[in-house]
A and B are shown apart, each in its own frame.
Chain A
Amino acid sequence: MAIAEPRTTERAPEPQRHWLVQWLTTTDHKRIGILYLLNSFAFFFVAGVFALLMRTELTAPGRQLVTTNGYNQLFTLHGTLMIFLFILPVLVGFGNYLVPLQIGALDMAFPRINALSFWLLPVGGLTILSGLLAKGGAAAAGWTSYAPVSEQGGAGQDLWIVGLVVVGTASILSGINFIVTILRLRAPGMTMTRLPVFVWSMLATSLLMVLATPVLTAGLIMLFADRRLGAFFFNPAHGGDVLLWQHVFWFFGHPEVYMLILGAWGVVSEILPVFSGRPLFGYPGVILAFVLITALSFSVWAHHMFATGQVEFPFFSATTELISIPTGVLFFNWLATLWRGQLRFEPPMLFALGFIALFLVGGVDGVWMASPAMDFAIHDTYWVVAHIHYVLFGGTVFGIMAATYYWFPKITGRLLSRKLGQWHFWLMFLGFNLTFFPMHELGLRGMPRRVADYLPDLGWSFLNQLATAGSFVIAASMLVLLVNVVLALRRPRTAPADPWEGNTLEWATTSPPPVHNFDRLLEVRSNRPVWDARERARIQAAEGRT
């Protein structure tokens, strides 16, 4: 007679799953945030290589490297990947990692949707890139894909449309997730008026993602229907309208520009106070500016269409100029934050200061284009290329680099080298200005955008050579960053919880934080809870001594 073996009361330990499976199935906002960052930087690399190929091609008149069709694919993919698969996702990635930490939450509101909205990104991005294998190549109608040029093209254009619908879906989902997280999961004491500025910037970004992205999706579906299902939305021969695409695209596209910059404003508004030892000057003014810009961004779209001659000029030039008022307020507040502070030039601060200096150029050179008559002279020239890069590279990418140096110790538990960070900053600052400043002059000399070649006797060659040289300096600066990251990752985890003397809650937990984020939550009584705690400790220590 067999006797049943006594059962152990202990539960068998969960089988430790393979690390790859863990990463593929994770719903932890920190891991998803890291996945976002890795994925975004991978696309940044690809789109950056495309930019170098373009710059090399434009070094001199004549054909150097790629065919005309190849060049048209390069600028289309460069713009598309940078905007949809690097800048926005990298900001969302930092948001994913930091928003729950900064508001003292355990995770995002919808962890599974969070994972889904991440995984849609590589799928969409690779769909767009897979056009390179299609007959006739990838999409070649520009990142704006104006109809009806975008109705020609082969399968590459269809893959571009499908890929962007997928990426857009990811945006909408993560926008909803952020909004709910920020409105519902804040720690006790974390009122809306104590919310860190970066969280406010992500809230504004999310509103734009949820409200504007569906408009793009609708436009893409119309374009697809025209191409493959025999519809005529954009075909005037059958009662369609070519301007409809431009209206739909820019009604999304201009809020999109603010999705791409608001997060960087948030980052800079976090970093300046920390490294100058001051509170953010005019916190309510900064938030008000964010809100006004978010609202106004839906009313300016047709300033991209002044050259069509068929939009209401005074209205759109007035709204465009209005939006520069809250933007001006941001600059005043940033400067007033630095005023009478004690500035520490750690790499995050260098990039934040670089951001202010360069974003200002993008703000000022945009003033010319806001005036329709002036826009007739420079729209669709390299002036616009200079402008968008001063805003999105001099602005956002410098902000992204500031964020990278600022939060790298929190995310990895390791400190990046200060020396290499300085090299990275100065090379990038120099290379950036060398590449993009001459483009203003190229635009004034009449070089149109998106040309694969130009004539030798137009006086454009030297400026193009400067720009190409600059682009390789930028590439070198990125190598410095890569080396810095690799070296740091090989060192042990020694970063303290709060290496910078930060203000916000992510600095009140270990680096990197535990799975559950906080062992103990700090009391939140202002928008600088960690500063408050440090100050309290200092006062107590001083009292203890006397």
Chain B
Amino acid sequence: MGVAGLAGALLAGCAKQGATVQGQQIHDLYVLIIILAAPVFVGVEGALLWCVLRYRRRRGSDGRPVPQGAGGPRSLAVFFAIPTVLVAFFFLLGERTLADVQRREPNPAVELRIDSFQWQWTFYYLNEGFFVTGRTLTKVPVIALPVGAPVHVRLEARDVVHEFYVPEFLFMRNALPGRPNEFTFTPTRIGTFRGQCAEFCGLHHDQMRFVLKVVSQADYAAWVDQQRKAAQRVDCDPTGPLRLVSKDNSWNTGCLAVGASGPFVVSVSNQDAGIEHNFAVYDSAKRRRTYFQGPRFVGVAEQTYQLRPLPKGHYYFECDVHGPAMSGSLLVK
């Protein structure tokens, strides 16, 4: 009964079919391993139970001699041969699936660069020219991908090791500082899938989540359009001295505004103990022109930066250590 319960639980668990082409192959491998492993498991537990029931010492059997045979080379050979055959078979199965999962798509429909850091993700849509990011502890990034189209990912990390993991894709991959990883997946099912960092990455590891919506081609095109427009629509008004506060690797605001009258001061308070931040101003998220770049400093500390006068317009500021996830608009009015 316990055996049936185990097999049942494992089979129920594999109901998760894998929402990508690659995930389905991994799911098939999972089922194959069950088919191979279940007889071994049932056989050994069954033999154990049989011995316990059949060979328990009974009243009156005291003194009856117990067979003292302890096997020889033949049993040894058999004991080695059985697992060897199983293992060889299992190895070949695994290699076949591995090759499929690792195969890289030459013509991906979407090229993503995923940047990870404590404790947030930034998703750069390389061909569409925008990015999506969240705010640590307050906003989870939500991205969309078209169904049935191969997605190529370049996965990077800025500070420590993280891990891109979407349970429904049956796939995870480490994001390693200094060692980018690349992989391809093709979503096969429309739906909302949750992902989160799976490699322990410090204090707020458990909050490092993202949401991945797989949508129809038409919905995807509309979403891309909306993202592009939103990037240009930020606005706020000058309200006195400029002050930025970073806490849990998030700025307190995404919009700073200043009158175009002359030099101005930005004070930056870094509340993140042991973590570096800085303040820099660029033309846009593409960072083609640098207007100001303050030195990095470790929290908890405060720095005040003097900036030269800037012509009226829309600028982009960020912390260079954490990139777009710690960015915003600087409006000179």
Contact A380 B87 (CB under 8 A): no
Q: Is A214 part of the contact surface with B, judged by Cβ < 8 Å?
A: no
Cβ contacts under 8 Å, B275 to chain A: 152
Are the C-beta atoms of A336 and B71 separated by less than 8 Å? Answer: yes
Taken together as a complex, chains A and B put the C-alpha atoms of A283 and B167 apart, in Å, by 45
Chain A residues with CB below 8 A from B95, complex form: 314, 317
* Docked pose: A149 CA to B203 CA in angstroms: 10
Indicate if the CB atoms of A342 and B61 lie closer than 8 Å.
Answer: yes
A308-B174 contact, Cβ under 8 Å, with A285-B76, A450-B200: yes
Contact B79 A329 (CB under 8 A): yes
- A242 contacts B87, CB within 8 Å? no
A374 near B30 with CB under 8 A, answer: yes
At the interface, yes or no: B332 with Cβ under 8 Å from chain A?
no
A441 to B79, CA, bound (A): 32
In contact, A377 and B26 (Cβ under 8 angstroms): yes
Find B48's partner among A281, A357, A372, A440 (CB 8 Å cutoff): A357
- Interface segment, B127-135, B141-149, B176-184, B228-236? B176-184
Is A191 an interface position by the 8 A CB rule?
A: no
**Contact A329:B205 (CB < 8 A) given known A281-B70, A318-B91:** no
Within 8 Å by CB of B44, from A314, A331, A333, lies A331
Q: Does B33 contact A (CB under 8 A)?
A: yes
Q: Smallest CB-CB separation from A150: which chain B residue?
A: B160
B36 contacts which chain A residues (CB < 8 A)? 367
The verdict on A231 contacting chain B, using a C-beta distance below 8 Å, is no
Does B56 sit within 8 A of A, measured CB to CB? yes
Q: When the two chains form the complex, which single residue of A339, A345, A381 contacts B56, counting CB atoms closer than 8 Å?
A: A345
Cβ-based interface call for A299 (8 A): no
Interface residues of B in 92-140 (CB under 8 A from A): 93-95, 97-98, 100-101
Cβ of A300 < 8 Å from any Cβ of B?
no
From residue B120, how far is it (CB to closest CB) to chain A in Å?
Answer: 15
Which of the residues B14, B66, B80 comes within 8 Å of A277, measured between beta carbons? B66
Contact A328 B79 (CB under 8 A): yes
B30 interface neighbour in A279, A344, A368, A440, Cβ under 8 Å: A368
- Cα–Cα distance between A454 and B94 once the two chains are bound (Å): 32
Q: Please, which residues of chain B bring their CB within 8 A of the CB of A321? A: 87, 90-91
The stretch among B190-198, B283-291, B303-311 that forms the contact with chain A is B190-198
Min distance, Cβ B178 to any Cβ of chain A, angstroms: 3
Partner of B71, one of A153, A282, A357: A282
Residues of chain B within 8 A of A500, CB atoms compared: none
Interface mask (A440-478 → B, CB under 8 Å = 1, otherwise 0): 110011101111111100100000000000000000000
A344 touches B161 (CB 8 A): no
Q: A141 interface residue, CB < 8 Å from B?
A: yes
For A455, what are the chain B residues with a Cβ–Cβ distance below 8 Å?
A: 194
Q: Which listed residue, B44, B163, B173, B200, touches A149 by the CB 8 Å rule?
A: B200
The answer to whether the Cβ of A410 comes within 8 Å of any Cβ in the partner chain is no
Pairwise interchain contact A377-B30, C-beta atoms closer than 8 A: yes
Partner of A309, one of B12, B16, B80, B174: B174
Given the complex of chains A and B, what is the CA–CA distance between A341 and B45 in angstroms?
A: 17
How many chain B residues touch the partner (CB < 8 A)? 86
Residues A449 and B80 in contact, CB atoms below 8 Å apart? no
Chain A residues, Cβ within 8 Å of B87? 321-322, 324-325
Cross-chain contact B44 with A343 (CB below 8 angstroms):
no
With A282-B79, A440-B9, A451-B205 already in contact, the answer to whether A376 and B172 are too (CB < 8 A) is yes
Q: Which residues of B contact A356 (CB under 8 A)?
A: 48
Q: Does A72 contact B (CB under 8 A)?
A: yes
Chain A residues with CB under 8 Å of B212's CB are none
Q: A282 to B170, Cβ gap below 8 A?
A: no
- Tell me if A444 and B98 are in contact (CB < 8 A): no
B90 near A373 with CB under 8 A, answer no
Contact across chains for A278 and B172 when beta carbons are under 8 A apart: no
Known contacts A332-B79, A373-B101; A344/B203 CB under 8 A: no
Asked whether A360 lies within 8 Å of B44 as measured between CB atoms, the reply is: yes
Encode contact with A along B67-84: 1 for CB under 8 Å, 0 otherwise: 111110001100110111
Are B45 and A142 within 8 A (Cβ)? Answer: no
Nearest-CB distance from A448 to chain B (Å)? 4
Min CB–CB distance B65 → chain A (angstroms): 9
Q: Tell me the complex Cα distance, A166–B36, Å.
A: 44
Residues of chain A within 8 A of B12, CB atoms compared: 441
* A146 interface hit (Cβ, 8 Å): yes
Residue-by-residue, is B1-12 near A (CB-CB < 8 Å gives 1, otherwise 0)?
Answer: 000001001101
CB distance from A275 to the nearest CB of B (A): 9
Cα–Cα, bound, A440→B83 (Å) = 24
Contact with B along A323-358 (1 / 0, CB 8 A): 011111101110110111111110000000100110
Q: Does chain A have a CB within 8 A of B218?
A: no
Q: Are B178 and A241 in contact (CB under 8 A)?
A: yes
Q: Assess whether B41 is in contact with A360, with CB atoms less than 8 Å apart.
A: yes
CA distance A286 to B42 in the complex (A): 23
Report yes or no: B52 in contact with A343, Cβ–Cβ below 8 A: yes
Contacts of A377 in B (CB 8 A): 23, 26, 30, 170-172
Which residues from chain A contact B84 at a C-beta distance below 8 Å?
A: 325
B48 contacts which chain A residues (CB < 8 A)?
A: 335, 338, 353, 356-357
> A135-161 CB contact bits vs B (8 Å, 1 = yes)?
010001110001011001110000000
Contact B51 A328 (CB under 8 A): no
Chain A CB within 8 A of B225 CB: no
Kindly state the separation between the CA atoms of A360 and B38 in the bound complex, as whole angstroms.
12
Contact A381 B198 (CB under 8 A): yes
Assess whether A242 is in contact with B55, with CB atoms less than 8 Å apart. no
22 A-B residue pairings within 8 Å (CB atoms): A68-B206, A140-B203, A141-B200, A236-B179, A243-B179, A285-B71, A308-B179, A317-B94, A332-B79, A335-B44, A340-B55, A357-B48, A360-B41, A364-B40, A371-B33, A379-B198, A450-B200, A451-B196, A451-B205, A452-B206, A453-B206, A455-B194
A285-B75, A448-B163 are known contacts; what are 8 more A-B pairs with Cβ within 8 Å?
A68-B203, A141-B202, A282-B71, A282-B76, A322-B87, A343-B51, A379-B172, A445-B167
Q: Footprint of B on A, CB under 8 Å?
A: 68-69, 72, 136, 140-142, 146, 148-149, 152-154, 236-237, 241-243, 276-285, 288, 307-310, 313-314, 317-318, 321-322, 324-329, 331-333, 335-336, 338-345, 353, 356-357, 360-361, 364, 367-368, 370-374, 376-377, 379-381, 437, 440-441, 444-446, 448-455, 458
7 nearest A-B residue pairs (beta carbon): A446-B167, A236-B178, A371-B94, A328-B83, A444-B13, A377-B170, A451-B206
